[in-house]
Chain A
Amino acid sequence: MESLVGVGLVFAGAAIAAALGFSGSAIGMGHAGQAAAGVLGEKPSLFGKMLLMQALPGSQGIYGLVGAFLILNFAGVLGGDGITAIDIGTGWMYFMAGLPIGIAGFFSGMFQGLVAASGISMIAKDESNMGRAIVLSVMVETWAIFGVLISFILLISIG
């Protein structure tokens, strides 16, 4: 029973890492997409640049996916012999390891989308602002990356 709870916690950690990352990206990309749609109504030729700007907040979903895979792999669920016995304490550790990437991914994805939307306005006024708009947006992503880092450190620390 205890091992089932432990495994359940591993799954929960992976699920949180993925789901929060996906959600943050979805919200962020939604914000950016709305701004892009407005610009494209006036300047359809900017589609490629708009698509790129909209894709920037999608990174957090990808990091969530990476995190979920790493959690499942480190726990031996994926790639190992399948589901193995995991005690509750270890299960909680894996669960916690999913939190940095999930929570950071959620909030940074959301806010990166807002910055991307503002960057889209910059590009609409002057296409040469593309580089600056990308850099401003990507600054927010730094914290999601640190979330990946801490999650990874926690995972490799689990004995």
Chain B
Amino acid sequence: MAVVEMKKVHFLFHKSDTEKVLTEIQNSSAVEVTGTIVDVDSGTVPMFFPNATLFAEVQKSLHFLISFEENKSLITKLLEGNTEFTSYENVIASLKDISVVKQLTSDILKLQNEEQQLREQIRILSEKQANLKKWSSLDISFADVKTEYTKTLFLEISEQKRRASNNLSLKTILEKQLEDIGEEILFHEVSQGLVAVTFYTADFDIEARLRAIISENAIEQIHLEGEYNHTIAQELQQINILLEETKGLYNALLGKIELFTKENISDLKLTHDALKWQEDRYAALALAGATGAVVSVTAWIKSAWISVITKNFNNSGIPVHIEEITITEDEVPPVEIENNRLIKPFEVITRLYGMPGHKDLDPTLFLAGFFFIFFGLSLTDVGYGMFLMIAALLLLFVFKVPKVIKNFATLLFAMGAASFSIGLLFGGYLGINVAVLPQFLQSLQQFDPIANPLPVFYLALGLGVVQIMFGMVLKIYSDARNNDLINGLLDQGPWLFLFVSVLLWLASSNQLFTAFNEQSFVYMTYMALVLIVVTSGRKGNSVFQKVQYSLLSLYQSIGYFSDILSYSRLLALGLATTALAFAVNLIADIVRDSVPVFGPVFAIVVLIIGHAFTLAVNTLGAFIHSARLQFVEFFGKFITDTGRSFKPLERKEQYVTITDK
């Protein structure tokens, strides 16, 4: 339950064992390869990824096939999983025969090309069909469109432009501007915006005027001639036939691709991940140093894993020498945290913030209890808590989901339990008035935040005081671990003394603690303030600086004050849940009473949707704000630095989930 101790080591092995050693390292997930300090003399070890091209092809092929994968419903995906659940050996076996993989990707590429071609053909034919359909009422042959003596232009004006021209038809617009030409120009009107214009080829003047009108009025000339020979109707018929044939071919091809996908996609996914792991191993190897025969890999390793990995190498018969290196003063090891099964789910919150510094404490254990309570106070509902717990159990035991989701599901269960248990104390039952519930449930209620928010307000602030004080104690502990106990006590001790004095004074003035009189605690508070001033001054280098630090030290009390007040959000979030749930019930009541016959049915729909929405919004808010209280008000007391996350060489499961360890 701590920041994992890291050691820096060299792995020294013969180049022929490179693949085996890196595979073992990758499977352990306990080693982060870093740049080596060994001078590279000559390199005969292949440092490049030999299957780079194949991997690119596999990725492209997989991307193509996935689009043809059978669409599963959400429930099916959850029950069957969205990845391939298989053993490690099966994944490795998928790369046994590279030629098979190459053939597969080649076949997929052919199918992809065929699909693209047919799709493009359909697109072009559909476009032609759409263009010609507009002119289908025009009974002229394309063979006659351009003759020795005549020429025909197909003109179109946009609806917007036509309306701007006083809503006149295109034919009228043209006729008005060419009315002096008379019978030397023929207009074939197809529609308000479509006209075919025929004129004598020798009439260059007419053509010039026409082109000027086209340009000035933003009329578009459609070029249909040149492509076709028969009448528009005949050409359209031919296009329709060709389009149907092509669509038929395309549908047949789709069927073939879908069948191909069904048969091969699972293997391809396994191959993808196997190649990805190989690529990662070679990326690590690129950081290594090598001589003619020996490879040296420098790495950070979890201290406890040195013996484990040595044993694994020995069992596998791989001769590897692991040499520990002294870490220099300015070297900062990567940080990893490890906790037991009870606390592990809360690592999600720590990782969301970022790793603590390598000399800091792992805050996960300490935030777990507080987060549990704060989340419970923020959601405060038995019904919502039960729903979260059920959802978590489904994710853990029924649905096949990735490990990351399973880890979060455990946290979700804890969050649900918190909301459930604190909901009992606050009388939160999906916005239902507690007075209508059984007596034993009413007797459990200790707080009524709507009727009397002040006790809850003070409870929230009180929890804040407890967490802040705990943070100070942790800081002392952290300093002690770093051989700085005296400074820890002098920094935090006086403030802790002040907090205790004020709390005792409050308890005494409210007759909760009468062992000593109130005045004693006032004197204690003054003593604490003096201690704060005195101890803060020790950090100054000169007398002036000591005085300056002493006087400014009390300013920190404002920071503590604002930290404590920040916890008032726990009241607000709990109130918001209750209020929203109450509002949903109220709306459902109104719907039930005002809609005849089907009122109760609609009311049930309102209840389901309304409470689902309230649950989603308030769960998110409760999580975010409970986490934020940890990060800002708690971590800031004892976490001094942000560490670099430990990034081990490991098997990243993208399309597969390995079922065996």
Contact = CB atoms under 8 A, between A and B. Distances in A.
Interface of A: 48-49, 51-52, 55-56, 58-59, 62-63, 65-66, 69-70, 73, 78-79, 127-132, 134-135, 138, 141-142, 145-146, 148-149
B162 interface: no
Contact of B639 (A131, A145, A148): A131
Main secondary structure on B side of the interface with A: helix
B572 A62 contact: yes
B450 interface: yes
B523 to A, nearest CB: 25
12 contacts: A51-B624, A55-B624, A58-B624, A62-B573, A63-B569, A70-B457, A73-B454, A127-B354, A130-B642, A132-B642, A134-B353, A134-B628
Contacts of A130: 353-354, 642
B561 A149 contact: yes
B571 interface: yes
Interface of B: 352-355, 448, 450-454, 457, 558-559, 561-562, 565-566, 568-569, 571-573, 575-576, 621, 624-625, 627-628, 631-632, 635-636, 639, 642-645
A135 B457 CA distance: 25
B270 to A, nearest CB: 24
Contacts of B453: 69-70, 73, 78-79
Contacts of B575: 65-66, 69
Main secondary structure of the interface of A (DSSP, over half): helix
B624 A52 contact: yes
Given A62-B573, A135-B636, A145-B565, A48 B352 contact: yes
Nearest to A73: B453
A12 to B, nearest CB: 20
A127 B642 CA distance: 10
B628 A52 contact: yes
A108 to B, nearest CB: 12
A66 B576 CA distance: 10
Given A62-B573, A70-B453, A130-B354, A55 B628 contact: yes
A26 B178 CA distance: 62
Given A73-B454, A131-B639, A145-B565, A66 B631 contact: no
A59 B562 contact: no
A120 B625 CA distance: 18
Contacts of A138: 632
Contacts of A128: 354-355, 642-644
Nearest 6 interchain pairs by C-beta: A79-B451, A55-B624, A62-B572, A145-B562, A66-B572, A130-B354
A3 B441 CA distance: 39
A149 B454 CA distance: 14
Given A65-B576, A135-B632, 11 more contacts: A48-B352, A59-B628, A62-B576, A69-B572, A79-B452, A128-B643, A134-B353, A134-B631, A135-B636, A142-B559, A149-B561
Nearest to B348: A48
A46 B304 CA distance: 31
A131 B635 contact: yes
A66 B568 contact: yes
A70 B454 CA distance: 8
Nearest to B564: A145
Given A78-B450, A128-B642, A148 B354 contact: no
A56 B627 CA distance: 11
A51 B348 CA distance: 14
A52 B632 contact: no
Contacts of B561: 145, 149
Contacts of A63: 568-569, 572
Which of the listed residues A59, A66, A127, A142 has the most CB atoms from chain B within 10 Å of its own CB? A66
Contacts of A66: 457, 568-569, 571-572, 575
B565 A131 contact: no
Contacts of B450: 78-79
A49 B352 contact: yes
Contacts of B352: 48-49, 52
Given A73-B454, A145-B565, A131 B572 contact: no
A65 to B, nearest CB: 5
Nearest to A130: B354
A59 to B, nearest CB: 6
Contacts of A145: 561-562, 565-566
A129 B355 CA distance: 11
A75 B577 CA distance: 23
A65 B353 CA distance: 27
Contacts of B457: 66, 70
